[in-house]
Amino acid sequence: MTTSTVDAKEREIASAVQLRLDGAIRPLLQFHGGDVRIERITQDGVVHLDYHGACRGCYLQAATHFVTVRLRLLEVPGVTDVVARGVRLSEESAGRIAKMYVAPAGRP
């Protein structure tokens, strides 16, 4: 792929992620006084998020991220993973959640 093709693909993913956030996710967070923004999206499709507002410091932030946000963003073609600043859960717990909420086929 050429550089321009890669850039176009990244922009397409970013646009689709933002659309998903704005449509399906941010309203849920804003209802509780929280919000989320995209920090960056890497070339290999890892979305880096930053929760703010009431999400910051909320004891359910990890649950919201892994259950509500991450799985919905993994449905966006090209997204390979979703991580968030300040959200840190053990691998064991993240894996348990992933098993309970079946991720889209072919995704971690």
Scanning 10-18, 33-41, 67-75, 89-97 for contacts with another protein by CB under 8 A, the matching segment is 89-97
Q: How many residues does the chain have?
A: 108
- Please tell me whether residue 67 binds another protein under the rule CB under 8 A: no
Compare residues 34 and 45 and give the one whose CB is closer to another protein.
34
- Please tell me whether residue 44 binds another protein under the rule CB under 8 A: no
Scanning 6-14, 19-27, 32-40, 91-99 for contacts with another protein by CB under 8 A, the matching segment is 91-99
The residue with tokens 């507002």 is: 53
- Please tell me whether residue 93 binds another protein under the rule CB under 8 A: yes
Interface ranges with another protein (CB under 8 A): 56-59, 62, 86, 88-94, 96
